[in-house]
Amino acid sequence: YALKTLIFIYSKLNISIIKILPFVISDLLIKLECNDLEGWGHLPDDIKPTPSSNPQKTVNLTEHSESIRVLYLFLLQSLFLNENITPEDFSPFINDTVNILRCLTMDPCNDIIKVSCETIKIFATKFKEKLYYFNSILGRSLFLALISKQSKIK
């Protein structure tokens, strides 16, 4: 709803939705603290741990409200489904978007995991050309969400 309001306001002011895209993505990164999920982004590639030791669940949630986290996912879905935003417009923010999706896929709440999987599906449909670079990262987070013993998404 908030994004639709922003789009409406910007369309009345003749300002493109693409101009607010950097602010939306950076705000989500800050609110979810998902810049460096593994905690070893600052390390050189030769001493980074193997992918099998990546996190499986988000332990320290910065946003404690589940409904707000679901709204973040609906905001991303609205951005992905917006016809005015092309995959080229999203290219500078693709790494950050993947980190946001991974963070929300590792959420302890099953409802958020379900909406996150739906959002990744929309993301993969719209950005299929870019998916080659992120398929192992997104696939691993989806795999962990689907095989978890506590997960009711099966």
- pLDDT tens per residue across span 18-71: 777 888 888 888 888 776 665 555 566 676 666 554 545 555 667 778 888 888
Indicate if the pLDDT at residue 11 is higher than 60.
no
Please compute the mean of the pLDDT values over residues 12-17 and round it to a whole number: 62
Percentage of the chain modeled with pLDDT above 70: 63
| pLDDT over 80 at 134, yes or no | no
The Cβ of residue 127 has, within 10 Å, a number of other Cβ atoms equal to: 18
User: Can you list the pairs that 22-25 forms with residues at least 24 positions away whose Cβ atoms lie under 8 Å?
Assistant: 22/92, 22/93, 24/75, 24/79, 25/93, 25/96, 25/97, 25/100
pTM summary value: 0.75
pLDDT band at 119 (very low <50, low <70, confident <90, very high): very high
